Chains A and B, each alone.
Chain A
Amino acid sequence: MYLKNIHKQFPGVKALKGVDFSLEKGKIVSLVGTNGAGKSTLSNIIAGIYSPDEGEIFIEGKKVTISDPKAAEQLGVGIVHQEPTLVPNMTVVENIFLNKEITKNGIVLDLKKMKQESEKVLEFLGFHINVGKKVEELTLVEKEVVEIAKAMLLKPKILILDEVTAPLNKDEVDHLFKIINDLKNNGMGIIFIGHKLQEIIEISDSIMVFRDGKNVGELVPSESLSEKEVISLMLGSTLNEDLITGEDKDDTGQRQEVLKLAGLSKQGFYEDINFTLYKGEIVGFAGLKGSGITELFQSLQGILSFDGGDMYVKGKKVKFKYPKDGIEAGIGMVTNDRQGEGLALTLDVKDNIAVSSLNYLRNRFRTLNTKLLKDNAGKYVKALSIKTPSINQFVQNLSGGNQQKIVIAKWLLRNLDIILVDEPTRGVDVKAKNEIYKLLINEKNNGKSLMVASPEIRELLSICDRILIINSGRIVSEVHRNAKEFKEEDILNIIHSSHQHYTTAQAM
């Protein structure tokens, strides 16, 4: 298979900018890159879910157009998606054969044959799952196996595996890799997408590195290839150093403690979190998707309850029942789902900024003081240089960066001491990014305490005084700004070393 000069644009982003890609029979090619680098877009184009804006696709020397998933199937492409594509209320057989059903005479389903066939596929994969069970009753691992079985059913010539190892443990991964190698030896071409570099180096024949919608290089795994080399190619050499403004404050004894967590746990999300936040610092939280950071933040504001450990705000033990309790204790969270949780899209700028502070914007009749509200909204629009025609503009008409500033302004107006920011610059362009960084640092200098989570390590390096690394819900490492590990490579290294608990060198 061969892809030439593939372009794909989504509203607001160029996801792929001229990608060439080739895959031979009996080879495993891995795609690596940071989130949003274009790996999944490329695989979705091959699977017929997106169609490219530009470029050509050849399979076995013939030029093809893959218009929909069914066409991809007929061309011999199977895909296991990153997100779950099973129907929970249907059985394993029904899911495996979804839209590929076998019938007896064109009408009546051949239930017996489908059952046998799915058992055969699962057996080949080395798993025994009751195929009459509903998918919602399966374990996470079993679901993943069913996803793979579904892709394997039509004996594809090309198999795309998009982050299939995430829910699997080491033994299961080993088992899966054995199967993948068998398939490869039978002549199947395999595209493997993953985040765990060690796995990728282990399984691949070649590694294709993506950055900003382009493939920036191809590496061939060997004894000498290290995860570091892959990471540095993923990131490129142009590290943005000029923004770094964080500082390390070692004199912890002098500082005022604002938030303390002692063994905070929430089953299934995070475990035994011990952490102290001081006045006037920005602490970064780094980890992969699903590492539990978002849930931890939610617990701190009272959106999610915690079920173990204690939480202290300014020395006082607290347990929040509602988000309101968190806000009253001085904690606000800037969510990573701006449009879903952070804003009322159909309200205007001033109302969105004021929404959490309405009790403080009342006149002597205890009703809303609209003038005060407008003045305050105007003040923050100006202070954060939010680009909007007026404070009466609907928020949904603003760009992502300006929307994000409004979410932040909401908490600034409420004058909270602790601000939790989950992905400060998701879907925000470069210029607005820098403005948001400045804004956060400015708040720190005003004596606020911030906790920032981000999938972009570079971002954390820019603004944070120290970074905590979370792996599967646990703090595995803490890196201070003056430490020699305060580098993207090292932090990524720690994050990507799966199932390995680092001894924490905590300086608290």
Chain B
Amino acid sequence: MASDTSSINGGYRVSAKLIKDNMLIIILLLELIIGVILSPVFLGKTNIQSILINTAIFGLLAVGQSLVMLVKEIDLSVGAMMAFGPIAAIALTEKILSGSGTEIIVGGNYVVDGLLLIVILVLLISALIGILNGIIRVKAQVPSLIVTLGMMYVLSGMSYILSGGYSLYLTNLEGAKSLGNNMIAGIPVNFILFLVIGVLVILVLKYTKVGHRIYSTGGNEKAAIYSGINTNFWKIMAFGISGVCAGAAALIYSSRLQSVETIQGSGYELISIAIAVIGGITLEGGRGNIFGAIIASAILCIMLNILSLVGLIAWYKTIIIGLIIIGAASQHAFSRRTA
């Protein structure tokens, strides 16, 4: 019936819907325009590259977090995992390789060898911790907020014990800086990697059974169980993938700074939740999509960048992030009710 009455009014309604559906992209474009107006450096090559690298790190965390939130859970341990993953991987690599006589740490805290093994172990350890989060969640029936909060504390404590609180330097490790700093045609490799992972996740959710499993687990768990879906398995999977994403983010972060800090990633768990929420993922589960989360991570990184360029002190940034989270969540909830 609406199509029969396509008057001016109808046209207005269509464009309003168009704006509502593409709100995130519109905000992103607006930000770009504001950035160009406010700062001459904004469009500079290094500035753009720095935005893209940050987007890759936060975006990876947000993709993992979004999957967890889609199955109606939450993962507070990803920030702590970003420190623990590399620290534990290096410690383990040292243990493994010292048997064969290879020294991988010299001068107390300079990592010099074992890159490949470290990379593999970072991803493996992060995945296993994620899976452990999931298993505790479904087997002990403890809310994931609690499980992953506890895991966050355990991991930070272990990071301190393993590292003694000292930074590990990667400056003398051959190849260690490539992931964080190398460019292909001026675009950071890590950003390309992030896009590949992001697109892959989007495609898998849209075009394979996995998407139906994830969305139904979070959207109506009982319906999923009645349809014979093993919802516990998919929850564990989501936590596992979130772990892998945290591991990958840690690799980019450490490679960029060429060091591993005990406190790296702290607070990032909340930023990843913030991005997911801005991207339209809700705490009630089964709602929102990864594309939104990817755009949202760019929105957040560009905003932080602009605020730095105009010289706003850090605390104002936090206030603005807070307001954006509340605003975005209200807007999504509102548009859903009026849909």
Q: What residues of chain A have their CB less than 8 Å away from a CB belonging to chain B?
A: 47-49, 68-70, 73, 81, 83-90, 94, 97-101, 103, 107-109, 111, 137
Contact = CB atoms under 8 A, between A and B. Distances in A.
Given A84-B220, A85-B226, A90-B215, 7 more contacts: A49-B226, A86-B223, A88-B286, A90-B286, A98-B229, A99-B209, A100-B227
Contact of A98 (B207, B222, B227, B287): B227
A362 B216 CA distance: 51
A89 B221 CA distance: 12
A88 B220 CA distance: 8
B208 interface: yes
A90 B219 contact: yes
B332 interface: no
10 contacts: A47-B226, A69-B225, A73-B228, A86-B223, A88-B219, A89-B219, A90-B219, A99-B209, A99-B213, A101-B209
Contacts of A101: 209, 212
Contacts of B228: 48, 68-70, 73, 99
B36 to A, nearest CB: 37
Contact of B226 (A81, A94, A97, A107): A81
A188 to B, nearest CB: 20
Interface in B190-234: 207-209, 212-213, 215-216, 219-220, 222-229
Nearest to B282: A89
Contact of B212 (A69, A81, A99): A99
A87 B226 contact: no
B208 A98 contact: no
Nearest to A90: B215
Q: How large is the interface on B (under 10, 10 to 19, 20 to 34, 35 or more residues)?
A: 20 to 34
Contacts of B209: 99, 101, 103, 109
A86 B207 CA distance: 20
B220 A86 contact: yes
A84 B223 contact: yes
A136 to B, nearest CB: 9
A94 B212 CA distance: 7
Given A69-B226, A84-B223, A109-B207, A89 B286 contact: yes
Contacts of B222: 83, 85
A174 to B, nearest CB: 27
B212 A90 contact: yes
Contacts of A86: 220, 223
Q: Which of B216, B219, B223 has the most CB of A within 10 A?
A: B223
Contacts of B286: 87-90
B219 A98 contact: no
Given A69-B226, A69-B227, A87 B220 contact: yes
B214 to A, nearest CB: 11
A107 B204 CA distance: 9
Per DSSP, are chain B's interface residues mostly helix, strand or loop, or mixed? helix
B220 A85 contact: yes
Interface string B4-46: 0000000000000000000000000000000000000000000
3 closest A-B pairs by beta carbon, nearest first, are A70-B228, A87-B219, A69-B228
Q: Which of A49, A90, A98, A103 has the most CB of B within 10 A?
A: A98
A111 B227 CA distance: 19
Nearest to A69: B228
A155 B207 CA distance: 25
Interface in B102-158: none
Contact of A108 (B207, B220, B223, B339): B207
Contacts of A81: 226
Nearest to B216: A87
Contacts of B229: 98-99
Contacts of B207: 108-109, 111
Interface in B248-300: 286-287
B256 to A, nearest CB: 35
B294 to A, nearest CB: 19
A108 B215 contact: no
Contacts of A68: 228
A426 B212 CA distance: 37
Contact of B208 (A47, A70, A88, A109): A109
Nearest to B70: A89
Contacts of A100: 227
A108 B205 CA distance: 10
B227 A89 contact: no
Contacts of B339: 137
A341 B83 CA distance: 44
B155 to A, nearest CB: 30
A99 B223 CA distance: 11
B287 A87 contact: no
A418 B220 CA distance: 39
Contacts of A103: 208-209
Contacts of A84: 220, 223
A85 B222 CA distance: 7
A87 B215 contact: yes
A322 B207 CA distance: 49
A89 B287 contact: yes
Nearest to A108: B207
A70 B230 CA distance: 10
Given A98-B229, A99-B229, A87 B224 contact: yes
Nearest to A110: B207
A87 B208 contact: no
Contacts of A98: 212, 216, 223-224, 227, 229
A83 to B, nearest CB: 7
A89 B212 CA distance: 11
Contacts of B219: 87-90
Nearest to B339: A137
Contact of B227 (A85, A107, A108, A109): A85
Contacts of A48: 228
Nearest to A134: B339
Contacts of A137: 339
Contacts of B224: 87, 98-99
Contacts of A73: 228
Nearest to B226: A85
Contacts of A111: 207
Given A108-B207, A108-B208, A90 B216 contact: yes
A95 to B, nearest CB: 8
A92 B61 CA distance: 32
Contacts of A69: 225-228
A49 B223 CA distance: 11
A264 to B, nearest CB: 27
Interface string B50-89: 0000000000000000000000000000000000000000
Given A87-B215, A87-B286, A99 B208 contact: no
Contacts of A83: 222
